[in-house]
Structure 1
C-alpha cells in the first residue's frame, strides 16, 4: 500500500431503496465507523426499485455485511431472508439485512427507532394514538405504539386499511378506527400522532385542535418542515411539538450499527454528525 492512500475496503454496507439519493443513512453509519475505529469499512447508497432487492442481494460480494432497506423494499427484505427477528416477523417487513454464517437475517429496527424517538420527545405511557398511512412503516409504528401502551388507535388512510395492517392491529388487541385522510387528522384528546406519508406529500386537513394536544412525529424528514408539520403548527398556533423523522432515523441506525458490526452504536457521535449535516443543509 502506498503511504497516504486509503487502505483496502474490508467490509461493505449500504442503504437501498427508491428514491434513495436523499438518504441520511451514510452520514450516520460512516460517523459510527469513524467513532468505532473501523477502518476499511464503507457505506454507500444504491437505487433499488420495487421487485429488485433479491437480484441486488444475490449480486453482492462476500465483503458485504449488511444493508439498510428503505421503501419500497421492506417487505421484500423479509421475504428473501434466511432467518428473521421477532419484530420483523410481527411487522411483516424488515428495514435491515445482516449477513452471517446462516445467511441473511432480517431485522426491523424501525420499531426501536420510533420508540426511542418518542421517549426522547417526552412520550411515556400512551393510550390513544393516530397513525397516518397504512403500509409497512405504519405497521412498525403500530408495534412501537403498542409497546408504549396504546390500545385505541385511529388509522388515517387514503381509502382502506391494508389487510396486513388490519390483521396486526387485531392480533395485538388494539381497538382500531379507520378514517379517510380527506376527513382530516384528529388531534384533540390524542396522546401521539405519527405520520408515515412520503416526503413531499400534501398535508391532509387537521381537525380537533382544542383540548389536550398530542406530540406529532412525521417519519419523513425531507423536505423539512414537512407539509404536515406546517399544517399542524398553523392549526394549533404552534402549541404542538412536531418531531422530525431524523430522530427516528438516528435511533434505528444505532441499532443497525450494532447488528452489522457487533459493537455498541455510538449514539452521541452519530447524533453530532447528523446535527452538523442538517445545519449545513439548512444554510446551503
Structure 2
C-alpha cells in the first residue's frame, strides 16, 4: 500500500523543469496534499540518492541524464520502458521502485491532439536519448517505416534493432540524403537551439507535422524553417503535459491505464499551469 506523499523531479540540469507546476496543479484539483519538488541529481549520485529516500516518498519524475539509471534501478518495467530502456517515472512501492516510460504516451497523445490518428510513414531527426521513445510512439501510431536522420547514421544502430522488435523498418541516413517519401509526422529530438541551416529545408518541405521536443525556447530554428515552408510545427509542451498526466495516474493508482477522477478538469488545470490557455 502506498502511503508516501513526497514527490520530486530529479535531473541535471533541473532548474528549468515545469514538472512542479504541472503536478501541483493536478494535486490541487484532486484534493491531495502532496509535496512535489525538484532536485539536481547527476548520474554519479543517483543510486545513493535513491537509496537514501525514506518511506515518506511516493515517486520520482526523471529527466536527463537519469532515465537509463532509473531503468537499471527499477525492479519492474512497463512495456514502453522495457522497449526503450528509459524510465522517466519511478513509483516507490514497498517492494522497490517500479519504472514507467510516459514519454511515449505523451508523444502519442500530443500527435493525436493535432488530428493525426495514424502515421503510415514517420521521420525522426536525431538519434539521441529521446529517439527511442519517438520510435515507439510512431510504431503505436501505425508506422511501418521510420527514417532516422542523424549527423552520424551509425548512431541509429540501436534504433534499427528496436525497430526490428517493433516490426518497423528503420532506415538511418544523414542530412545530405534527399528525403523520400513524404512523412506524416516528423519528430525532432535534437538538442535545443540546433540550427541545421539549409539542410533542414527539404525535410521541412516533405516532413508533415513537426513535433519538436524542445519547449524552453520557441520557436526553434527548425520550427521556423518548417513554418516558412508552409508546414505545421508544435513544441514539446504538449508532450510534457500529456506525459505528466500519465505520471500523475501512476502516482495515484500505480498504473498509466487508470484514468484520474475528473481527468478532463485535471488536464485543463495542468494545461493552464504551463500554457496559459
TM-score range relative to shorter protein: 0.7 to 0.9
2:11 is aligned to: 17
CA contact (8 A) 1:188 1:208 kept: no
Residues 49-198 of structure 1: pairs in structure 2 closer than 5 A: 49-159=42-152, 160-181=154-175, 183=176, 186=179, 189-198=182-191
Distance in 1 of aligned mates of 2:63 and 2:22: 15
Considering only aligned residues, what root-mean-square deviation do their CA atoms show, in Å?
2.4
**Cα deviations across residues 108-158 of structure 1 (Å, max 9, x unaligned)?**
111111111110011111111111121331111111100111111110112
Q: 1:247 aligns with which of 238, 254, 266?
A: 238
Distance in 2 of aligned mates of 1:209 and 1:133: 13
Q: Give the 3 Å change call, closer, same or farther, for CA 200–207 of structure 1 in structure 2.
A: closer
Question: Which piece of structure 1 moves more, 203-212 or 246-255?
Answer: 203-212
Q: TM-score, normalised by structure 2?
A: 0.88
Distance in 1 of aligned mates of 2:6 and 2:79: 25
Distance in 2 of aligned mates of 1:42 and 1:118: 31
Q: Give the 3 Å change call, closer, same or farther, for CA 47–66 of structure 1 in structure 2.
A: same
CA contact (8 A) 1:250 1:271 kept: no
Q: Give the paired residue count.
A: 267
Q: TM-score, normalised by structure 1?
A: 0.86
Instruction: Give secondary structure in 2 for the equivalent of 1:167.
Output: helix
Residues 178-257 of structure 1: pairs in structure 2 closer than 5 A: 178-181=172-175, 183=176, 186=179, 189-203=182-196, 205-208=199-202, 214-234=208-228, 236=229, 239-257=230-248
